[in-house]
Amino acid sequence: MTKKIILACSNYYPHSFGGTEVYVESHAKHLQDNGNLVYIITSAPFEQFNEENTVYEDDNLKVCRYEHNATIIFGLHYQKEIRSELIYSKYELNYDISFKNFIKGQPELLNLDVMHIHSFTPTIGVNLFKCILEVNQVMKVITNYHVPLSCPTGTLMRNGKLTECDIKPNLSKCLKCSLKTQKKSPYILARTINLLKLKTNIVPAVFRAKYLINLELEAFKYLKQITSEWWCYSEGIKKVLQLNEISEKNIKMARHGVNDIFLSKNKIEKDKNITIYLFSGRLVKIKGITTLLKAWLKLPIAENKQLWLTANTESDSEEIRALIKVALQRNDIFFIGTKTQKELVDIYAKAHFVVIPSEWYEIGPLVFHEAISQQANIICSNLGGCKELADYYKATSLDFDAGSAHSLAEAIIKSRYSNPTSVKIKTLEEHFQLINE
């Protein structure tokens, strides 16, 4: 029977590229191929809007409607400055009427059967979910744990250190941890603020930390209340969900698969004269870019080793900009720009090693599977999903102490490429079939 399904994610094409976007796009295609009607709702930057595609606008909310790969997308944009309370609670009463009026005016968002939640942010948050559920009273809610939704610091790290958190969240412990963490959600929040054009100074939020952390915990409590099924991609996150008092019977776990194009190459040949180390990700501290650049800059320039980064040379971080400036003076470091999935296939196929130096709990990084599919070896931090996948792909992975440039430099020096031809990688279609069993 045909179902009407909404996928909710914080960022999407064409203005954002990342693992979650790849997953959501493939998820939409899987659902459509099975005869369902699928729509996506996401945040959108101001530049995405024009007179033709704007379908709703009031003092609080502006919404555009566009298509990407034959799927209808609704892009949300807040018109006003964002307060700290909204960042933590994912809810503000004043926005309820705006969301409800917008939803009631879109036939695609009426009589929905399923809502798949892929993000939990100020925009894709309680206001949106509450109003969708009020307008569509009989529907199933599935939440996908792509990022640390249950952690007030957005990292699943403990007390500001690169140590995995293994405690049940509560106000006292989460407050202590948050105060020891320099920035709240340095990766996810940075992307959210960028899209929302946040102008409010959030530094004073530190002085109201207990109140704000409680808002964050209550927001996740609401998410638990409305969610009947949870999807995750690692055994570690399955344990995190259980720690948050989510029943095992409501959790489905299946490791990621890769886009079909990653398995389309008949033959992969690596250069035998140059060893290529690849970083594929954003230039933000939580992704370990500072540790990687510091580690590589410790190494002498060698004619037979190169570092490639699928990024441009811009960064909001003064520290990262300084490291990039030094890196650009070397002839063994190449910033090759952001790439599409199709372009990444060829780049991974050339790379001998993919470096994943993350300094937060990667949930089950898609880049890991993509790299292995192109017979690349992995050098990764010994945290979370990276550590779990390093054990899963034992013959092709090498880990190092997260956050340590010295440890990473040593791992690079010790690295010796081996061809992982025997490793079996699932497609994303196989992943969806498995998780829906």
What does the H/E/C string look like for the chain?
CCCEEEEECCCCCCCCCCHHHHHHHHHHHHHHHCCCEEEEEEECCHHHCCCCCEEEECCCEEEEEEEECCEEEEEEEECCCCCHHHHHHCCCHHHHHHHHHHHHCCHHHCCCCEEEECCCCCCCCHHHHHHHHHHCCCCEEEEECCCCCCCCCCCCECCCCCCECCCCCCHHHHHHHHHHCCCCCCCHHHHHHHHHCCCCCCHHHHHHHHHHHHHHHHHHHHHHHHCCEEEECCHHHHHHHHHCCCCHHHEEECCCCECHHHHCCCCCCCCCCCEEEEECCCCCHHHCHHHHHHHHHHCCCCCCEEEEECCCCCCCCHHHHHHHHHHCCCCCEEECCCCCHHHHHHHHHHCCEEEECCCCCCCCCHHHHHHHHCCCEEEEECCHHHHHHHHHCHHHEEEECCCCHHHHHHHHHHCCCCCCCCCCCCEHHHHHHHHCC
pLDDT along the chain (437 residues), means of 10: 94 85 93 96 92 94 94 95 90 95 96 96 96 92 93 86 87 85 46 41 60 93 97 94 95 92 83 95 91 96 95 91 96 93 92 94 89 92 90 80 95 90 82 88
Strand-pair category, 114-117 with 4-8: parallel
Q: What is the CATH number of the domain that holds 371?
A: 3.40.50.2000
Could you tell me if 327 and 204 lie in one domain? no
- Tell whether 198 and 127 lie within a shared domain: yes
Match 């009407």 to its residue by tokens.
4
Q: Is residue 201 part of a domain?
A: yes
Statement to judge: residues 152 and 283 lie in one domain? no
Residues forming beta bridges with residue 24, ordered by sequence position: none
193 lies in the same domain as 127: yes
**What CATH number does residue 131 fall under?**
3.40.50
pLDDT at 421: 64
Examine the domain organization and report whether 99 and 197 are in the same domain.
yes
Domain extent, residue 48, equals 4-253
Report pLDDT for 431: 93
Same domain, 50 and 174: yes
Pick from 219, 159, 147, 224: which is nearest to 185 by CA?
147
Q: Is residue 376 part of a domain?
A: yes
Judge if 230 and 83 occupy the same domain: yes
Residue 206 is predicted with a pLDDT of: 54
Instruction: Identify the pLDDT of residue 99.
Output: 97
Residue 425 inside a domain? The answer is no
Instruction: Please name the residues in contact with 225: beta carbons below 8 A apart, sequence gap of 6 or more.
Output: none
Strand duo 37-43 + 4-8: pairing: parallel
**355 and 217 fall within a common domain:** no
Q: Let me know if residue 420 belongs to a domain.
A: no
- Among the candidates 221, 253, 285, a domain finishes at 253
Compute the distance between CA of residue 275 and CA of residue 304 in angstroms, rounded to an integer. 6
Residues 242 and 307 in one domain: no
Q: 171 and 119 in one domain?
A: yes
Residue 24 lies in a domain: yes
CA distance 360 to 379: 16
Q: Do the Cβ atoms of 348 and 265 come closer than 8 Å?
A: no
Quick one: pLDDT at residue 422? Answer: 66
* Domain count for the chain: 2
Is residue 435 assigned to a domain?
A: no
Q: What pLDDT is stored for residue 429 in this prediction?
A: 92
Residues 220 and 170: their CA atoms lie apart, in Å, by 12
**289 and 155 belong to one structural domain:** no
User: Would you say residue 68 lies in a domain?
Assistant: yes
- Per-residue burial over 177-193, b = 16 or more CB atoms within 10 Å of its CB, e = otherwise: bbeebeebbbbbbbbbb
What is the distance between the alpha carbons of residues 322 and 47, in angstroms, rounded to a whole number?
A: 29
Same domain, 44 and 139: yes
Predicted local distance difference test score (pLDDT) of residue 162: 87
Last residue of a domain, one of 253, 282, 315: 253
Q: Is residue 249 part of a domain?
A: yes
